[in-house]
Amino acid sequence: MDHFLYKGGILHAEDVPLPEIAAAVGTPAYVYSAATLLRHYRLFDEALAPLPHLVCYAVKAASNVAILKLLGDAGAGMDVVSEGEYRRARAAGVPGDRIVFSGVGKTRAEMRHVLEGGVRQINLESEPEMRLLSEVATSLGVEVPVTVRVNPDVDARTHEKIATGRSDNKFGIPISKARAVYAEIAALPGLRVVGIDVHIGSQLTDLEPFRLAYRKVADLTETLRADGHTIERLDLGGGLGIPYARSNLAPPLPSDYGALIAEEVGHLGCEIEIEPGRLIAGNAGILMASTVFVKEGEGRDFLIVDAAMNDLIRPAMYGAHHDIVPVREAAPGAEMRPFDIVGPVCESGDTFAKGRDMVPLSEGELIAFRSAGAYGAVMASEYNSRPLVPEVLVQGDQYAVIRPRPTFDEMISRDTIPQWLHDA
């Protein structure tokens, strides 16, 4: 459920008509609903209510500081994968003891930064990383709580670019090596084992892979405890999928997911952490665009819009589907016809949908890409020198620009011409 609904024939974000936002900030623009973000966070929080837990929002899904503040103020922890994300979470007022640092390639500088600033735990992904963290922590005279991300070798049955729990990908250590790795950590100064971490992939629309992975984590908990390690926290990752097409069957609910967690690991007495990103932010944001031209082609018609792959790369990168709807609701019974919906970037990959049934639109009309809140704005670039797409947050009947569109001058003035070219 989200808060983007037609009222009086006009698509609204909560109580704000989208044309009002388009008039103020132009298009393309991302628009988020605060009520939807909070609702999704609370669904997870309630789903885990029977167990001690912390829902750590995966910052990489949508990392605007205003979104982080909204969720952080509601009690969310944060899962970060870079110093930049850590700094964003802190800028949003989230305390270090609610921030988990994940990722396969943390650098010495990043480790030092989060250790100095305060961190809830660091999820380790390799042996060289353990040794480096031990060295950095010791040099600062601190002891850092750690987990090891284990790779349970389960098939998440999702897109290959976002599956992370198979033994042949770069994430975590093979679960079969876990005992040896935990023994090595226990002997390293500056590290304090607190638990186990697992994350098997993103956009999972079936709970079974989670069940298989969590069952392996539960077994490993018993084994590691028998070896003398303290396992008091289980970080179970993110990955719950969302319905990108309205016509599809609904994927599992956070409540089903919470019940599964209680069944598989509830008996262990651990504090549970989860790291959802997509399910919190995905349906809480849309990308609003305008049609530029309707171009009649041979055998197919094109709807050329002012958003492009640099603003929303998911269709080009993952072949992802986004529902695309007119902001002015189609008249009941209006005739649809198929369009290829494309952006202006000079690549055939800049195609949002092929043969998509749409009501005929004229030039300059507003459309909305639904379910664009996660992995949308964060993956935007200025390819083709298109200024970075702005972001707007709506709450009730108010809205605010939470990242303005740079002017052309701002975009160009970041480049500098070396002196030796001036001299030439």
Please give the positions annotated as active site.
346
Q: Which residue number, 58 or 146, has a Cβ lying nearer to ligand PLP?
A: 58
CB of 103 to ligand PLP, least distance (A): 7
201 is in an annotated binding site: no
The one among 77, 145, 238, 254 contacting ligand PLP by CB under 6 A: 238
What is the phi/psi pair of residue 197, to 5°?
Answer: -125, 145
Binding of ligand PLP at residue 278 (CB under 6 A)?
A: yes
CB of 324 to ligand PLP, least distance (A): 22
Binding of ligand PLP at residue 276 (CB under 6 A)?
A: yes
318 is in an annotated binding site: yes
CB of 166 to ligand PLP, least distance (A): 14
Helix (H) or strand (E) holding 80: strand 77-80
**Candidates 127-135, 271-279, 285-293, 308-316 — which segment interacts with ligand PLP by CB under 6 A?**
271-279
- How do beta strands 4-7 and 99-101 pair? unpaired
- CA 255/CA 277 separation, integer angstroms: 16
Binding of ligand PLP at residue 239 (CB under 6 A)?
A: yes
Q: At what angle do helices 83-91 and 65-73 cross, to 10 degrees?
A: 60
Please report, for residues 1, 123, 124, the alpha-carbon distance to residue 132 in angstroms, rounded to integers and kept in the order given: 44, 13, 11
Q: How many helices, marked H, and strands, marked E, lie in the chain?
A: 13, 21
Binding of ligand PLP at residue 275 (CB under 6 A)?
A: yes
Binding of ligand PLP at residue 60 (CB under 6 A)?
A: yes
The one among 72, 145, 209, 237 contacting ligand PLP by CB under 6 A: 237
- Residue 257's CB: how many other CB atoms inside 10 A? 24
Q: Which residue number, 282 or 315, has a Cβ lying nearer to ligand PLP?
A: 282
What is the phi/psi pair of residue 71, to 5°?
Answer: -75, -40
278 is in an annotated binding site: yes
Burial of 362 (0-12, 13-18, 19+ CB in 10 A): exposed
The one among 121, 134, 151, 202 contacting ligand PLP by CB under 6 A: 202
Q: Which residue number, 236 or 367, has a Cβ lying nearer to ligand PLP?
A: 236
375 is in an annotated binding site: yes
The one among 254, 277, 315, 326 contacting ligand PLP by CB under 6 A: 277
Contact (Cβ atoms closer than 8 angstroms) between residue 322 and residue 285? no
347 is in an annotated binding site: yes
- Please, which of residues 307-366 interact with ligand PLP by CB under 6 A? none
Binding of ligand PLP at residue 47 (CB under 6 A)?
A: no
- CA 19/CA 227 separation, integer angstroms: 62
Binding of ligand PLP at residue 106 (CB under 6 A)?
A: no
Q: Residue 155 is which amino acid?
A: D
Show Cβ contacts of residue 312 under 8 Å, excluding neighbours closer than 6 positions.
287, 322, 352, 369, 372, 376, 379, 380
Strands (E), 42-172: 53-58, 77-80, 99-101, 121-124, 144-151
User: Nearest to residue 288, comparing CAs of 6, 25, 49, 9?
Assistant: 25
Site residues, ligand PLP (CB under 6 A): 58, 60-61, 79, 102, 199, 202, 237-239, 275-279, 374
Binding positions for pyridoxal 5'-phosphate? 239, 275-278, 375
Binding positions? 239, 275-278, 314, 318, 347, 375
